[in-house]
Chain A
Amino acid sequence: MAEKTDTPPSFGLRDFPDRLSPMLVKELRQGLRTRTFTMIFIALQILLALFVLLSIANTDNSNAGEAISLFVFAFFTIAVLIVQPIRGISAVSSEIQEKTIDLMVLTRLTSWRILFGKWASLVSQSALLFATVIPYLVIRYFFGGMQLFAELSLLGTVFILSAATTALFVGFSANKSIIFRGLIFIGAGFLGFGLMVAVFFEGGFDDFLNLYGGGDKEELFMIVGFLLLCLYAGYYSLEMGASRIATLVESTALRKRLIGLLMIAGTMGVFYYLDIKYVGMIPAYIISMIITGMLAIDCFTEEAPQIPRVTKTLASKGIIGRALGIIFHRGWHTGFCFILVLFAILWIVLINSNDLNSPRDVSNFWIFHAGGFYSALLPLLLVQLFQSKISNRFIAYLTFLVGGLSFAGIAYIMTSFLPYESVVMGLSFLPGMFLGMIDKKQLEDLPSLLMTIYLSITVIILFIYFFKEYKKTLSLEKQYINDKNN
């Protein structure tokens, strides 16, 4: 490039090593200079130092050590579980608004690397805050009465929850809709506030410490399982965010769906082999249904492939790859098939688990199973019916889903004033209404039959849309193979 000047040969940046992700480097350069982070950092240090000094001055107080712990945890939790995740709420939307996302996708950065880099930067900053509270816990150790392992475990738990919550905010920030992001913010705010009150003002802090210090194996197992599920939810949020900004070239459906499948298989496997007393496979089934529900939102809102290159991964694997494409290609249509496969797998596992002891149990779980899938599929059907008027599948799907669930909620409240059977049966087509139909002996087999009918009709209509869309995908596959051979 023309016109050389006298720029020194050492010109250039060496502040971060090359092996770090470019996104992480960019976000750290920006993030560490933001006023929010600097203020949190300084405020945390000043407050903790002041509190520790006051506690040292007041050594007569036998509860000083515990008070320091509580204070450190309270401020650390506010910083990493509330403030840091909130910083991620416009992480991607600002890039979309400023059109810098276009500039990024033209580089080698994939949508996943963009989201992951943004998340990793915020988590790194939280880790920096985590590191700075350790010295105060060391000082607190000298006051005595500290449950070292329990307190560190609790601190680690807060950090893991922070990482998962940050992922949730960063993932959802890929949506342009400010209303949607606002609702997520309000929802998470209520949840966080409730958690804080429960832990720090309702004696939950001591309960948690006791749990980590001397809880039984099963309780600890449940906590570890919960944290793993939170981490998966975080990963899933990032993947879902990545799907929102993915270019036409990208397809991460195979990876996302396989990881989801592995999570379900892992959950089933762990519960089966640990054979925890009294609980059987039901919790594994419930967790799997939650994972399936999350997967369904992503699967049903993905755009179908538009260019041949997207089919590359599976189309190049011969006949087996092409067959697997029915459930693993990018798009809502293959997502629909994938979710149907999960529907079948989960039901087979459930009815073979020896947990359903009577025909009544089978009927109730069928209502739950079929009703759950129907509730996820009906909004998809509505999206397909109105697709020509819909510009954002994701928002449309969630609107139909949440709208349906809200109507069901109102309908359920109405049962207090109106005859139960007439309300529930009359509005049983609403998503979520099935929950009010479980174990109602007065309704006999009708709910089970209704759910079967609703689900069947929805699936049949969706299959018509599926075949229409999959025909296009097959022609893209063919085109890709022809291009490759030529």
Chain B
Amino acid sequence: MSDSAIKVKNLYRYFGALKAVDGISFEIPHGSVCGFVGANGAGKTTTMRILASLDYPTMGSVEICGKDVTAYPDEIRKLIGWMPDHFGNYDHMTVLEYLDFYARALGYSGDERRSRVRDVMEFTDLIPLSDRLSNKMSKGMTQRLGLARSLIHDPQVMIMDEPAAGLDPKARVELKHLIRVLAEEGKTVFISSHILSELGEMCDSLLFVNNGRIVHHGDADSLRVGSDSTGGFLYDIQLIGEAQSLSDWSVINPNVEFLETRKRGGRIRIDSNDPNVAADILAKMVRDGLRITEFHREERNLEDAFIDILGKIDEGNPSPIQATQTETTTHS
């Protein structure tokens, strides 16, 4: 078996003059959940459709579990479960009939067909809705039905395009739970969404895409603790006494910048990512007579991180991934 569940190398997809995907490369290991983030028109759906063998690349290669998507599309379809951002349900067809149709279409017959349908309905908790007409369901139930459909053939890799779009909070929590369960069962999940906070909670890694190019690939935690747009790290400090004392103290300490006063303290910025530097600063504060009750590093939310990354690109500083991509393209 290949090391990576998904391997994309120098992928390009042009529609006439439009560069929908502009030379992206990434790998996703087996059994991980990867979030695919980008604005509308960034190239997410096109990339996902190529991964699902529904479209073809202008250039570059895509492998799913070691199999090339364009060379072996039939095999790829057995390996992947595809859940698009929107799909219609059929009139005059119950939930059970809907799943029974797809099980038949995937080539299952007799008891195996019934057993597979039952298993996915149990997994997505659709058994009580068996006789409900599939086009008369809520968005959340429809997404569960879509998930059930994409799981009938027990695929190794799930490709989900905006599955949480339009869901209410309860349905989102349920979907998130199901995705985590799938990951625990060893499936690789490649999921796109606009709701970054949720992706952060369920994904092992995040891929940021902008104008058809990958601008970041890493885990969510590294983004949360990452530097702000100026390269600094933010700390929230609470103390007994006047917040002004913290502001005054920072004036005489050049590697600390006081940003704002808060209810029982303030917010400072430290240039270094080194925990020893933070520890030294805390020790100095205490030595200098500040009565510190809380000192902790602020985590950025992922939306801020995404905006920061886009901001850096707009300023003309390519992200490390972009720089690598440009280099790879030049060499190839």
State the A residues within 8 Å of B (CB): 1-5, 7, 11-13, 18, 22-23, 25-26, 29-30, 33-34, 94, 97-100, 102-109, 247-249, 306-309, 388, 480, 483
Contacts and interface: CB of A to CB of B under 8 A. Distances in A.
Contact of B88 (A13, A22, A98, A307): A98
Contacts of A308: 70-71
Nearest to B85: A99
Given A22-B101, A104-B105, A306-B56, A7 B87 contact: no
A30 B91 contact: yes
Interface string B139-165: 000000000010100100000000000
A34 B91 CA distance: 9
A12 B117 contact: yes
B84 A99 contact: yes
A6 to B, nearest CB: 9
27 contacts: A1-B120, A1-B122, A1-B123, A2-B123, A4-B122, A7-B122, A7-B127, A18-B104, A18-B110, A22-B105, A25-B101, A26-B97, A26-B101, A30-B91, A34-B91, A99-B87, A99-B88, A102-B82, A103-B87, A103-B149, A107-B105, A108-B107, A247-B53, A247-B54, A248-B70, A307-B70, A480-B71
Contacts of B256: none
Interface string B27-66: 0000000000000000000000000111010000000000
Interface of B: 16, 52-54, 56, 68, 70-74, 77, 80, 82, 84, 86-93, 96-97, 100-102, 104-107, 109-110, 113-115, 117-123, 127, 130, 149, 151, 154, 181, 185
A270 B71 CA distance: 44
A359 B287 CA distance: 117
B256 to A, nearest CB: 50
Nearest to B100: A13
Nearest to A13: B100
A99 B146 CA distance: 12
B105 A109 contact: yes
Contacts of B88: 94, 97-100
Nearest to B73: A249
Nearest to B127: A7
A387 to B, nearest CB: 11
A484 to B, nearest CB: 9
Nearest to B118: A11
A31 to B, nearest CB: 8
A388 to B, nearest CB: 7
Contacts of B113: 12, 18
B73 A248 contact: yes
Given A29-B97, A33-B92, A108-B106, A1 B151 contact: yes
A11 B114 contact: yes
A328 B82 CA distance: 32
B16 A388 contact: yes
A30 B115 CA distance: 23
